[in-house]
Amino acid sequence: MTEYNLIYNYIKSNVNDKSLTYIINQLSKNHEHDYIELILRTDFDINIEDIQDDTEAKKARKDDLFKKNVKNRYDKCIISGLDIDVCDIAHILEFNKCRTYFEKYDMDNGIILNKNLHSLFDKYYFSINPLTLCVEVNTELIKGKKLGLLQYNNIISKIDKNSIKYLQHHYDVFSQL
C-alpha cells in the first residue's frame, strides 16, 4: 500500500470519530506533516490553516495535554540534566509564532529545560544545532553577562530527533543574530 493510501485511508476511517488534531498527531509519527496537510486539503477539502483557534473546541488552550505528552518523552532538562521539578516545558517554536493549531500542541515542538535555560533559549542566547544536536551559545549576545551558559556550549542535548523540524526554525533565527 502506498504512503498516500495509508494516509488517505487513516483519515477517512477516523475523520468522523476523532479530532483533526488527533488524526494529524497520529499520522505525523510516521509521515511528513506537509504531505498529510496536502492530502487533507486536496482530498478532504480541509485546510489546516483555516481552522480558527477561537472555535468553542479550541478556546481553551490544550496546555495540560501538551505538557503531559512532553513529560512522557523527557523526565529532566535535555541540556543540564536537572530534575523536572526545577524545569519548564518549553515550546521550541514559540507558541505565538506557530502557524497552525497542530504546531502549537505538537509534542515534537516541546522540550524540557531548566527555568534559566528556558528563558535564555527564548531570547536566542543559545540554540541546538539540528544536525549535531549540540548546544551552540551566541557568545556575542552574552558578552559581559554572567549567565552560566558557556558551560553548556558544545554539549550534546538529549533531544528527541522528531523535534528537528522545529529546531531548524529556532536555529535559523539564532544563526542570523
Q: Is residue 41 located within the same domain as residue 70?
A: no
Q: Is residue 21 located within the same domain as residue 76?
A: no
Q: Is residue 63 located within the same domain as residue 23?
A: no
Residue 34 clears pLDDT 90, i.e. is over it? no
Q: Is residue 125 located within the same domain as residue 66?
A: yes
Q: Is residue 66 located within the same domain as residue 32?
A: no
Q: Is residue 79 located within the same domain as residue 144?
A: yes
Cα 40 to chain centroid distance, Å, stands at: 21
What is residue 131's DSSP assignment?
A: T
Q: Is residue 90 located within the same domain as residue 156?
A: yes
pLDDT band at 55 (very low <50, low <70, confident <90, very high): very low
pLDDT in tens, 115-160: 999 999 999 999 999 999 999 999 999 999 999 999 999 999 999 9
Q: Is residue 46 located within the same domain as residue 65?
A: no
pLDDT in tens, 85-98: 999 999 999 998 88
Could you tell me how many helices (H) and strands (E) the chain has, helices first?
A: 8, 4
Q: Is residue 45 located within the same domain as residue 62?
A: no
pLDDT band at 176 (very low <50, low <70, confident <90, very high): very high
Q: Is residue 125 located within the same domain as residue 166?
A: yes
Average pLDDT over residues 26-45: 85
- The Cα 53–Cα 122 span in angstroms is 23
- The Cα 172–Cα 41 span in angstroms is 28
Domain count, the chain: 2
Measured at the CA of 145, the angle between CA 144 and CA 148, to 5 degrees, comes to 130
Dihedral in degrees, nearest 10, Cα atoms 132, 138, 139, 142? -140
Q: Can you say whether the dihedral through the CA atoms of 101, 103, 109, 115 is positive or negative?
A: negative
Q: Is residue 73 located within the same domain as residue 128?
A: yes
Q: What percent of the chain has pLDDT over 70?
A: 92
Domain that holds residue 38: 3-51
Other C-beta atoms within 10 Å of 108: how many? 24
Residue 56 clears pLDDT 50, i.e. is over it? no
Query: How high is the pLDDT of residue 57?
Result: 46
Cell reading at 29? 509519527
Q: Is residue 73 located within the same domain as residue 112?
A: yes
Query: How high is the pLDDT of residue 18?
Result: 74
